[in-house]
Amino acid sequence: MNDWTEHVIWWHVYPLGFTGADTTGRDRTAAPRLRQLEGWLDHLIALGANGLALGPVFASSTHGYDTTDWFEVDPRLGTTDDLVHLIEAAHARGIRVMLDGVFNHVGREHPFVQAALADPAAPEAAFLRAGENGEFGTFEGHEGLVALDHGNPEVERLVGDVMTYWLRLGADAWRLDAAYSVPGSFWAAVLPRVRSEHPDVYVVGEVLHGDYVQAVTEGTLDSVTQYELWQGIWHSLQTANLFELDWALTRHDGFLEHFVPYTFVGNHDVTRLASAIDDERHQAHAVVLLATLGGTPAVYYGDEFGLRGIKEERFGGDDAIRPAFPADPLAADGPGSGARAAETFALHQELFGLRRRFPWLHRATSRTLSVANESLVIELTAAAAPGEAIVVALNISDAALEVAEAGKVLAGRSIDQGEARPGSGASNGGVTVGPHGWLVATRA
């Protein structure tokens, strides 16, 4: 894995939703919608990111995760030429591109499934996992998502071929959807061949819970999605229980001893941060953590504007968190319009700019200096930066928080006391964080 992964910050987009394509399967009108994303690449740069993490772009029946052909771009998004054009436009700006590989299962309209339905003895049936009573195995009980047989060496070969095919066309990284449902031995068989031709590829597996370290080591992955930290961040801020966050950070530090987790506070599968945390004064605290904690951070499109959206467990329940964006980022009535959107975007810019100044934060671990239900002060350090340390303080209470360990203020907000100015600090080396404020500072 190349050093580029130590400096990448991803902007995560769900292309079918972003471009306004129909995801019900009723309207499959072909259109070069991927081209719309090119207009947002400069926005990605302005945000402070340098990676474009794309959700599913391959041919599928509805939402993108029911693949019908891994070697073709979904006609609703365009053609292979349109995807290659987007990748080249990104590379021209120094932006890396990650593709979403759905290799645990296929859609029911996939040729493998159709052939097996027509003739259970067809050779294509061997690519599919057998279920009970002669039925196909499925992904988490979804009949429209037919599981692949990961014990079949031909499936290993096929997945490796798909990954290599798109890497040759310019992709830099792969997200492995539902990696937690695939045996680690499968990835361990596939990835060495992929890396033999593309040693700089970055591979992150979607893992919700369980043994993250085991998933990385057994599967020879570079990283996994850090859902434990996501849960600890939003839920502790919502419930005013920062002891929960403190425990999540203890777990996070343990993972950092083995690999660098893929960190996020929002994605295409969860309620948006601005809807998960009711108190708007505390939403910035989550962004502070994303920008300062060890990890490879990702921002889900729209979160940089403070968009709201609640995930619902029903058909179409993801629509609110996967909205369409205009082709022009500067559209007058676009998601970036309004004072709150501008303020939230500026916050992301400020904090990612700070992260760029301290690249060692990529592998930083934390040490708790103080914790209470409504306040947390941690110190961040890394072996790569001996003698350097950053203090992060979160205050979600109505009282001021004294942070004696803080030196020079690097960034901060306090509702009662106003903006903390860089370079400020009490004469004794400490800093006061006002009610519902936050602080990033050097160590006194």
Q: Which residue has the higher pLDDT, 2 or 268?
A: 268
Residue 3: per-residue pLDDT: 87
Domain 365-443 has CATH 2.60.40.1180: yes
Nearest to 320 by CA among 266, 278, 264: 266
Amino acid identity at 416: D
Q: Enumerate residues 6+ apart whose C-beta is below 8 A from 120.
A: 134
Extents of the domains making up the chain:
3-363, 365-443
pLDDT tens, position by position, 358-398: 999 999 999 999 999 999 999 999 999 999 999 999 999 99
- Residue 419 pLDDT exceeds 60: no
Nearest to 265 by CA among 294, 289, 238: 289
CATH topology agreement for domains 3-363 and 365-443: no
- Which residue in the block uniquely carries the two structure tokens 């306040």? 375
- Residue 64 dihedral angles phi and psi, to the nearest 5°: 100, -20
Amino acid identity at 80: T
- Average pLDDT score over residue span 262-266: 98
- Residue 7 pLDDT exceeds 90: yes
Q: Which pTM value belongs to this model?
A: 0.95
Residues β-bridged to residue 354: none
Mean model confidence pLDDT for the chain: 94
Question: How far is 111 from 407, CA to CA, in rounded Å?
Answer: 62
Residue 26 burial (10 A CB sphere; 0-12, 13-18, 19+) = exposed
The CATH number of 3-363, from 3.20.20.80, 3.40.190.10, 3.40.30.10, 3.40.50.720, is 3.20.20.80
Q: Strands 223-224, 202-205: parallel, antiparallel or unpaired by DSSP?
A: parallel
Residue-by-residue DSSP string for 56-101: --EEESSSSSSEEEEEEE-TTT--HHHHHHHHHHHHHTT-EEEEEE
* Residue pair 231/248 in contact by the 8 Å Cβ criterion: yes
- Residue 234 pLDDT exceeds 80: yes
Q: Enumerate residues 6+ apart whose C-beta is below 8 A from 87.
A: 97, 169, 170, 171
